[in-house]
Structure 1
Amino acid sequence: MEYDPKSSETPLLSSKKTSKLQTLGNIIVTVVGTGVLGLPFAFRVAGWVAGSLGVAIVGISTYYCMLLLVKCRDKLAIEEPLVETRSYGDLGYRCFGTSGRYLTEVVLVIAECAGSVAYLVFIGQNLDSVFQRNGPSITTYIFMLVPVEIGLSWIGSLSSLAPFSIFADVCNILAMGIVVKEDVRQTFEGELPFGDRTAITSNIGGLPFAAGMAVFCFEGFGMTLALENSMQDKSKFPKLLAQTFSGITLVYILFGLCGYMAFGEETKDIVNLNLPRNWSSLTVQVGLCLGLMFTFPIMLHPINEIVEGKLKLIHRNNNNDSTELGKITIYTSRAIVVVVLAVIASFVPEFGVFASFTGSTLCALLSFVLPATFHLKLFGSSLRIWQIVLDFIVLISGVFFAVYGTYNTIVGVEV
């Protein structure tokens, strides 16, 4: 398989297409991740009213920008039907040439690496909590995952990963259900006065922090084109995406509310740390670890897509068409990616601050700035005035959010 800078192949996608149910499972497992357990803390920081509105706005905006990517790809398919646009990097190339590809791919790789690192850190911290620090260190737990994740990363298609995605979804749903049950019990039986819950925070710096966490919760933006392209009936993708995002957004709001209402100002940055140490709490932690373990290879897809594209280009330039060598190179590169991310994860100090920073900066650029820019570039004057205004609002808001989120992280916001 040769790499064409104008039409890169997607290595994780085979010719086998996914059904509507399989695509639904892949969307959920791609979007829902570790960030959801930080939502109650985000509601504590921003207030339950501001937090609810923030999650709703972020959910709607992310869905809108995902559709922009699909519309851009559809327009390019009509203009040049023989040239495929299968990845985020391809879209950047078609809009702004080589510089557009490099910018898009660099931001995408760093963002996906950050999200993958967050997964590893979360799993390591939870396993450490389960064994009450009587076992190995967090770093050891992280590296114990490496062989498993390497094996999962070698699976060849999204359709093959669908059963793992559905299993991860089940683990996440069961874990969140137990958290909500404990939240409801704590709300009615706890000693914290209900009136202590803040509606809108007076801490200006806390709002961007909470917003960053909300953006991080809607991760997996780089998988948009791959998910749509893998679906058997692509015409159903926008409706399926809308239905899925509506459900996820509602669940996020309810989950954040339940967690904050249960524990008030004592809400921790990962809400399951507030739960009593019993069988249900341990089930939550183990279930989420299993779910994230199977989600990890899907998070790696955009990274592998870009890395393998460059490797194929090198092979082509060296006139090396060996299929067997190509397979070995792919397996080796995916293993190296997992190991490198594990090494980085071993140096990350705090999950909450790291997740908020990633959402405020990298995820904001991927989710809002680049899609709006591509849409304006490709459609230009053919857009209605309200569409142009809306795109510019999304674009400017994304840039401001990224800059301000970076500033807050550097100076340190009191939360």
Structure 2
Amino acid sequence: MTLSVGDQGGTSSHYKIFANIFISFIGAGILGLPFAFKEAGLYEGIIVMTLVGFFSVKAMLVLIDCRAKIINDATGSGKVLSPTTMDSAIDYGEVGFYAIGPAGKWLVEVSIIVSQLGFCCAYLIFISENLHNLLSLDFPSLTKMHYLWIIIVPLIFLANLRQLGSLGTFSIFAQMANGFALSVVFWFDMKHHHLIKTHIKTVSFDGLPFFIAFSTCCFEGAGLVLSLESSVVPEMRNTFRRMFKIALVVITGLYLMFGICGYLSFGPETASMITLNLPQDIFPSVVIGCLCFSLFFTYPVMMFPVSKIIDKMLCYPSTGGATDHALSTIMRTCLVFLTAVIVTQIPNFSNMMALVGSTCCVLLGFVLPGLFHWKLFSRETKGVTMVIDILLIVVGIIAGIVGLDDAVKRIWVNSANDTISGT
């Protein structure tokens, strides 16, 4: 639940603040980090991951500064923030509207829609491919395509739930399953990395664009940072920045350890998803099952903001601006089918994550925060602050161009060999 500005409810514990930030940032992308290190090499990966983490923190903190300025300006002048919102929370889209007008809000919302759909596609790839890998001996006639369409049916039902509270119980179990599974995979990597006999790549500039795009995807939290800050009780918001920095340092360290250990365990044989490298024994199968369960119930949560944004965009004139339940149901069902169709065309997990990272995540995570902050503080911004804004914009644009070029090439090369309709 997103709290409105000035809401007296919210999180009042440092532990809960840290936990909320941690849970919000640890996603399925971590499972592809060992492969990303395989592509870029150890040294290069460590440097790039650290830099991406640093710039991501800077970008998300300037968004908080932007909202603070909007609140202060509106409080002093009584200015309306948007034609359609008077008392609602000032989210990322509202910051964009106040900074550069309707185009800013449109850019944010479209980027969120596309990025969330991309993550949903990545979840479908993970679930279908791992189920096929686990059950191929028991059901040899079923392909990855069959598993994809089998899970689509219940996901359509879940995506049509209008309240996230309906998924509350499943979400709790999903988070527990995710934490357990990632811990076991991490333990497995730590236990077996000394067995690798092959040469480990230290630096590979050919893999640099891919690693930049993939790591940006892992740190994509710009759309959540304002909600996370709003969820803290007002009297403790002055501590949020410090807790946020601590959490992101821990998360960056976890990303580095998970990626490095996974790559050291399997070397050149590291798969696009580390779970595909696990042996087909009972315990690893349980772990993979937990991850599939977690991502299955995370899918409708990721789809929820997409549906809400599109509902508002459509406005359904026949109902006087209210949401038409039947039309909304059709829209949500079509979105689920759309993700399935996209997966049939881009069935590789790492390629999907890199594509999302080099487009929407770069835009949301670097370019737009720098642009919005620069516009809002144009009369006050000087020296180092202006340099940071410009640096965020320039770094984001360059990372997006080189990452997108690499992602498209990888998708083109792999399209004939790595298809979900194959064996």
- The aligned runs of 1:109-120 (5 Å cut-off) are 109-120=113-124
Q: Is contact 2:2–2:230 with CA below 8 Å preserved after alignment?
A: no
**Cα deviation digits, residues 306-342 of structure 1 (max 9, x gap):** 2121233x44xx56376xx655555554343223323
- The aligned runs of 1:131-142 (5 Å cut-off) are 131-132=135-136, 134=140, 136-142=142-148
CA distance in 1, matches of 2:57, 2:401: 22
Q: Is contact 1:25–1:166 with CA below 8 Å preserved after alignment?
A: no
CA distance in 1, matches of 2:169, 2:287: 21
Cα separation, partners in 2 of 1:135 and 1:34, compared to 1, 3 Å: farther
Q: Which moved more, 1:395-404 or 1:360-369?
A: 360-369
- Please tell me whether residue 253 in structure 1 is matched to residue 256 in structure 2: yes
In the TM superposition, residue 231 of structure 1 has moved relative to its aligned partner by 4.2
What is residue 345 of structure 1 aligned with on the other side?
Answer: 343
Q: Is contact 2:93–2:105 with CA below 8 Å preserved after alignment?
A: yes
CA distance in 2, matches of 1:85, 1:110: 22
Cα separation, partners in 2 of 1:191 and 1:246, compared to 1, 3 Å: closer
Corresponding letter in the other structure for 2:209: P
**Residue from 178, 181, 192 that aligns with 2:184:** 178
Aligned partner of residue 312 in structure 2, secondary structure: helix
**Cα deviation digits, residues 134-171 of structure 1 (max 9, x gap):** 36332332333334434444556667766544433322
**Residue from 280, 303, 306 that aligns with 1:300:** 303
- The aligned runs of 1:260-409 (5 Å cut-off) are 260-312=263-315, 314-315=316-317, 320=320, 326=324, 330-409=328-407
What percent of counterpart residues are identical?
30
CA distance in 2, matches of 1:273, 1:379: 48
Q: Which moved more, 1:21-30 or 1:100-109?
A: 21-30
In the TM superposition, residue 293 of structure 1 has moved relative to its aligned partner by 1.7
Cα separation, partners in 2 of 1:148 and 1:241, compared to 1, 3 Å: farther
**Residue from 81, 94, 98 that aligns with 1:94:** 98
Cα separation, partners in 2 of 1:271 and 1:155, compared to 1, 3 Å: same
Aligned partner of residue 295 in structure 1, secondary structure: helix
State the number of aligned residues: 396
Cα separation, partners in 2 of 1:180 and 1:354, compared to 1, 3 Å: same
What is residue 37 of structure 1 aligned with on the other side?
Answer: 31
**What TM-score comes out, normalization by structure 2 length?**
0.83
CA distance in 2, matches of 1:162, 1:64: 32
Cα separation, partners in 2 of 1:231 and 1:298, compared to 1, 3 Å: farther
Corresponding letter in the other structure for 1:351: F
CA distance in 2, matches of 1:259, 1:44: 9
CA distance in 1, matches of 2:395, 2:141: 45
**Cα deviation digits, residues 46-95 of structure 1 (max 9, x gap):** 11122122222222222221122222112111212464453332222221
Cα separation, partners in 2 of 1:124 and 1:38, compared to 1, 3 Å: same
**Cα deviation digits, residues 330-375 of structure 1 (max 9, x gap):** 5554343223323322332322222222212221111100111001
Long gaps (5+) in structure 2: 82-87, 415-423
**Cα deviation digits, residues 108-156 of structure 1 (max 9, x gap):** 2222211211111111111111111636332332333334434444556
- The aligned runs of 1:160-179 (5 Å cut-off) are 164-179=170-185
CA distance in 2, matches of 1:335, 1:24: 35
**Residue from 59, 62, 66 that aligns with 2:60:** 66
CA distance in 1, matches of 2:228, 2:98: 20
**Cα deviation digits, residues 258-306 of structure 1 (max 9, x gap):** 1111112222221121221112221221111111122223322431232
Q: Is contact 2:115–2:361 with CA below 8 Å preserved after alignment?
A: yes
CA distance in 2, matches of 1:47, 1:350: 20
**Cα deviation digits, residues 238-265 of structure 1 (max 9, x gap):** 3443333222211111101111111122
Q: Which moved more, 1:302-311 or 1:226-235?
A: 226-235
Q: Is contact 1:10–1:305 with CA below 8 Å preserved after alignment?
A: no
CA distance in 2, matches of 1:329, 1:71: 38
- Please tell me whether residue 211 in structure 1 is matched to residue 205 in structure 2: no
In the TM superposition, residue 96 of structure 1 has moved relative to its aligned partner by 1.5
CA distance in 1, matches of 2:334, 2:8: 27
What is residue 109 of structure 2 aligned with on the other side?
Answer: 105
- Please tell me whether residue 46 in structure 1 is matched to residue 46 in structure 2: no
What is residue 6 of structure 1 aligned with on the other side?
Answer: none
CA distance in 2, matches of 1:355, 1:106: 17
Long gaps (5+) in structure 1: 1-8
CA distance in 2, matches of 1:23, 1:73: 19
CA distance in 2, matches of 1:260, 1:301: 34
**Cα deviation digits, residues 173-231 of structure 1 (max 9, x gap):** 2222222222233223x2515xx222222xx2211111211112223432333333344
Q: Is contact 1:128–1:137 with CA below 8 Å preserved after alignment?
A: yes
Q: Is contact 1:63–1:242 with CA below 8 Å preserved after alignment?
A: yes
Corresponding letter in the other structure for 1:137: T
Corresponding letter in the other structure for 2:51: I
Q: Is contact 2:196–2:265 with CA below 8 Å preserved after alignment?
A: no
Cα separation, partners in 2 of 1:191 and 1:410, compared to 1, 3 Å: closer
Q: Is contact 2:118–2:356 with CA below 8 Å preserved after alignment?
A: yes
In the TM superposition, residue 403 of structure 1 has moved relative to its aligned partner by 0.8
CA distance in 1, matches of 2:20, 2:309: 20
